[in-house]
Chain A
């Protein structure tokens, strides 16, 4: 038994003792160690690490519910957590939506776990940063190299008891030249899979190809989106479309069984290996098909949204999922079947990532877009998003990149952009990409889309 599962079990027993046998309690004890080495102006300027164990208790007592957490895990800290959660539950209004506890349920599988990544030190991260900076060949660079390790144990008064571990590594960096930025980023289950030099080379190639950008008028353009941009689409689909609470409240575009996407679109959530193998309610995680050949087949649920929607939990309970909804954090857009021998190696030449080259060569006139930035919802139901391009845009004519283009603003419905008949091509290689803000990750190929609504340029 891990230290975390032992801790969770002790808090369950303490709660039972203090609140009485009728209490329904669930406890997650999670140890999280995150280390992030950040660089800017081609030097490491922020280098941080923390290791924290947090105990979360949710208690349903006499029809009322309250939750609490603490990082103070000595006897007094745990006693305080239980006592104040009991007090909070007794003062809370009745909870009509309590979905009950997760019954004893085995984990679906034990994902692979890399001890070396979990134990990586600051020198190993700094070496990758050094390699990135050197490979950029004198261009100004910025970014981060990150390793994370988590170990969790869950127990509840219904008898569910599960534990697991996960580790992840990620690197994300830009190279800059005369106002043009190029980017390269990767996520991996093993730090050893991250090649700082390869990423620095790719970022620099993009920056060098981004000079003297032209300004294009707003309008609808055919586009090839590199995986880094596609990841933003997955992020917003997960947060606002496949969110079980939004679905239950009729705020999502999702209609189960409807052909809402092009038949080339298949999306799954694949959390195993990227995060703990169970959620905050102790529900085992597993691969969740969301869209199959263009048809929406599921949304992500915790126990509360599942009860409201007449479904079952998919293992997506989070710290605030009762308020903000259960959000899938590991979406994967399936790549096109790979023709034998068709994959091309990444190089240090030109602006196009290897994963997008075949799609670019098939575009008569349109834009190659590297990345999206600051995307925000204008209308949740239709998922109209506004945001900007970032880290490189190029004009493509007759399958060749002909000019760099200045960053542009777009205002676009994401489901509409991926709708039936709107996807002209899907890349053959799916790339694992870290979210730049949190620990989630997405896996995406490049996409060739018929239309993207660009609504502004550098002039406004």
Chain B
């Protein structure tokens, strides 16, 4: 069907095989999430609410917690850096590498580094960087981007990956997943040993103790830290939680929400570089806190989105994401969370992504599964209002103009005249819709029979 909206177009034209992979991947993760929460917590809504309150509290006192964590990190021997934007963050990482004569880096999965194109930046500056998360490694060799926050290559299949491995000299064509994994592991093990710097993100940071928490299912974040002299953690400022005790709640929620695991396989609590008594581990640890418009989001009426712990549950349950896949969102963060966060992080490029908040039936499934209870539909609505007020045309494409309708609905006499005229279908909103959309409605659906005013008549006669 004809459509004016980009995400709808992507969904329409998507390769059926990719659609199937996205759809089934999402559905399966949703089912696992539900089963894991259902089994262990009779009232998981209570947990989601408390977790949301903790994150909201932290955000509302972020200045306090950032100061607290900076002091805690320094006590632990961690060097803390604050970076305002993409450029500053990338430059900070490069400077740390240069100052220590580091040339090569192994990195684990981190969405914030996707946001700032860190890998491209470091490569452009002559550094050797390898992604060690299997999915991210495959994306790196393909020059591709993640289509999902947790399962970045859900849009790919093993045959394509086998071809990529063959092309990269990682063995003859073999599409057996175990073989692919084994080959990647062999290749990456040497990279861990050769690298100077290990870079990670952080899923949580305890302000109280100055610990970062890393959750993975491959153990690669641990490897990134184990064999290198320097550990750099690039962390969004919204990752803070007040105390270590809070981590119990969040670790219980993140695995279950994201993949239906009670706990992710590897959970690292990193409190600083190696101590004198420890034989192994990085000699230096740097934490780079990234703002990159997060304080702008914090000041906006969509600040709740900063509670997000990047579990991907909202993507998995979202009927729109299931149809379109993650790349349709044209940004680092796809799905419902991305439809809110990406346009906000785009700053003055908001109009380019103003259609994202429109890609929702506002069904609220995202809110219902969110481990930190973000009212995503409300935020999507606020951004729709913003787009309309700012005249962002990407958002308005295909949406009927409702000004005339509003007048009709504020004038009872006009409304009743419209109702009483059997032929007055033209006054009904669906018929006021610009051409392609109106066609779309009637291409797939019949309009109900017009019965304008019949109920009013019945009601009056009945009460006479």
A binds B: no
A residues touching B (Cβ–Cβ < 8 Å)?
A: none
